[in-house]
Structure formats: C-alpha cells, structure tokens
C-alpha cells in the first residue's frame, strides 16, 4: 500500500515535515524517516492553539524513532488577521506556520493533508500552495482511512486511532477574537469532560465551543445520553467556575457534536 507514497517521497528530495501531532502528520513523518535516502527534518510548532498533549506526542515519537526534530514558535498570535478570527483564519495560521518553517530550513516542506481534506473548505491549503508545500498523501491518493491503515502497518499503535483534533482555535465561533486564555479554558473543559466520559479506556467526542450566545459543550450521542439533566447542571457549574473573566457570565449548555459547528460563513463581529 505504501509503494506509491514512497515513490512520491523519493521524488521530493530532502524534506521538512510539518508535524502537528495528529495521525496524518505523525504517519507521514514516520514513513518518511524510515524510507527516505536522507533523513527528513521534522518541525513542530507550539502555540496557545496547540494542546500540550500534541507536543508531548511528537517529542515521544521523535525519541522513539530517532527523528531530527525542531520545535518552533509559529508566531500566529502576533498576527492581527489571525487573532480577529475571520472565515479564513486558517489561511493566516498556515501562512505563519510555513513562513516560520521556511526560516529554519530550505528543504521541501510537506504536510499530512490527505484526499478527505480536499472535500472541505480548507483555506490553509491556499497558504500551502503559496509556500510551495507538497502533500504526499494527496499525491499518492491516500484517504484518511488509508492513512490510519498505514499507521497500523507501521506499528504506531494508539496513534493510528487518534480522533480528529483540529487546533483549539477551531472551537471559537467565527468573528470572536482568539485569546490565549480562551483557548486554555477550552482545553481545560475538554479534558475535564473527557475524563468524566472515559468508557473502557476510550474517549468520546468532546468539543467545547465558545459562541456569542455562550459556552456549548458538544458530545457524541452516547455520551450526551449518559448525562441526565442533573449531571449536566453539575458539570455546567464546574465548567463555569473555570471560565476566564470575559466568559464569566456566559451560559453553559450541552448539544450533539457537529463537525466544524463553530465555523460561520460570512459572519463578522
């Protein structure tokens, strides 16, 4: 299954892999390291929008595989266009990321984007195109399911089963300014709720959305059904107690999980 991918990688020469800590980029980094004639450079960017667990995961895989790893600051929080959280926020995020990677290496930058990503609105792909970033999984016709299968074949264990985990800024409704303390709160809420909902070792879908109308915790149907009204009220009070000052009066509610539900096309506040 990996022959086409290995062929693509072989034709790119020395590469720098943008490693976010998710299954796609970790799988790409692993196969690039194991098969490339010249060991790739792995680059991981830290910021308030990147959960600490993702950075820990990258460092752990780097140590296990013997990667050459650079951890950098992408600097997107110094970009007013990013902080304003417009519809195309991801364009500014990736513009800063790829610019930061280019400042530390002249290698061909590659990302873990796969065919499934092409069917969604991904302004970050526009930034990638502007920076000459290549997407080996796309070029080798890999879907998300194929990436997960490859991760299993490579022996990546739990990495192969990692749920989709967009950056923390994706939880903030379009048009609401991105603040580091808001992202820290979102992360804390998702960990709090996720720990409460751990079932037989598997985490359920949990998203903490910050909206103009308040704080909404989205859960998969099974988890939502397991929280009776009283439990929701108690959990809501615990969540509200952790809220930063700007969200101290925001109501807390629970709803079914919907992918990308904080993204509002055409909204500006």
The pLDDT assigned to 101 comes to 98
How many Å apart are CA 183 and CA 174, to the nearest integer?
A: 14
Res. 269 pLDDT band, cuts 50 70 90: very low
| Contact present, 44 and 69 (Cβ < 8 Å) | yes
For residues 132 and 172, give the distance between their C-alpha atoms in angstroms, rounded to a whole number.
Answer: 29
Average pLDDT over residues 146-175: 94
Q: Percentage of the chain surpassing pLDDT 90?
A: 82
Residue 155 in tokens: 């022996």
Alpha carbons 53 and 132: distance in angstroms, whole number? 29
Task: Specify the pTM.
Answer: 0.91
Given a cut of 70, whether residue 1 has pLDDT beyond it is no
Give the Cβ contact number of residue 71 at 10 Å.
Answer: 14
Which of 115, 131, 106, 142 has its CA nearest to residue 15? 106
- Residue 204 DSSP one-character state: P
pLDDT reported for residue 197 = 73
Residue 260, pLDDT score: 80
Structure confidence by residue, pLDDT tens digits, 60-72? 999 999 999 999 9
pLDDT, tens digit, 9 for 90 and up, residues 37-88 = 999 999 999 999 999 999 999 999 999 999 999 999 999 999 999 999 999 9
Mean of pLDDT over the chain: 92
What is the distance between the alpha carbons of residues 200 and 164, in angstroms, rounded to a whole number?
20
pLDDT band at 268 (very low <50, low <70, confident <90, very high): very low
pLDDT score of 267 more than 80: no
More confident call, 94 vs 262? 94
CA–CA separation, 131 vs 154, rounded Å? Answer: 30
- Confidence category of residue 200, pLDDT binned at 50, 70, 90: very low
| Surface-to-core class of residue 208, CB atoms within 10 Å of its CB (0-12 exposed, 13-18 middle, 19+ buried) | buried
Separation in Å, CA 171 to CA 146, 190, 233: 27, 11, 22
If pLDDT is split at 50, 70 and 90, which confidence band does 126 have?
very high
100-105: long-range contacts, CB 8 A cutoff, minimum separation 24? 100/45, 100/72, 100/73, 100/74, 100/75, 101/16, 101/18, 101/43, 101/45, 101/72, 102/131, 104/43, 104/70, 104/72, 105/16, 105/41, 105/43, 105/70
SS3 content of the chain, % helix, strand, coil (to 5): 50, 15, 35
* Predicted local confidence at residue 124, as pLDDT: 94
Is it the case that residue 163 has pLDDT exceeding 90? no
Backbone CA torsion sign across 137, 141, 144, 150: negative
Lowest mean pLDDT among 92-101, 119-128, 209-218: 119-128
pLDDT in the model for residue 180: 97
Distance CA 242, CA 167 (A): 20
Asked if pLDDT for residue 132 goes beyond 70, the answer is: yes
* Whole-number pLDDT of residue 203: 53
């Amino acid at each position: 299954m990996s022959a086409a991918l290995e062929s693509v990688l072989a034709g790119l020469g020395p590469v720098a892999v943008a490693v976010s800590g998710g299954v796609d980029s970790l799988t790409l980094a692993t196969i690039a390291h194991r098969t490339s004639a010249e060991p790739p450079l792995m680059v991981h960017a830290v910021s308030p929008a990147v959960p600490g667990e993702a950075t820990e995961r990258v460092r752990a895989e780097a140590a296990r595989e013997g990667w050459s790893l650079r951890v950098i600051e992408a600097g997107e929080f110094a970009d007013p266009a990013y902080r304003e959280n417009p519809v195309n926020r991801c364009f500014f995020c990736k513009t800063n990321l790829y610019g930061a990677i280019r400042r530390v290496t002249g290698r061909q930058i590659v990302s873990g984007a796969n065919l499934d990503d092409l069917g969604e609105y991904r302004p970050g792909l526009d930034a990638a195109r502007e920076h000459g970033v290549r997407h080996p999984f796309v070029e080798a016709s890999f879907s998300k399911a194929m990436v997960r299968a490859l991760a299993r074949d490579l022996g990546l264990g739990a990495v192969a089963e990692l749920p989709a985990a967009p950056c923390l800024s994706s939880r903030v409704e379009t048009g609401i300014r991105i603040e580091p303390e808001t992202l820290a709160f979102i992360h804390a809420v998702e960990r709090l709720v996720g720990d409460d909902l751990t079932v037989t070792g598997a985490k359920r879908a949990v998203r903490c959305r910050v909206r103009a109308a308040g704080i909404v915790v989205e859960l998969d149907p099974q988890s939502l059904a397991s929280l009776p009204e009283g439990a929701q009220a108690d959990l809501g009070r615990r969540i509200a107690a952790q809220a930063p000052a700007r969200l101290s009066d925001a109501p807390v509610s629970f709803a079914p999980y919907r992918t990308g539900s904080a993204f509002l096309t055409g909204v500006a506040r």
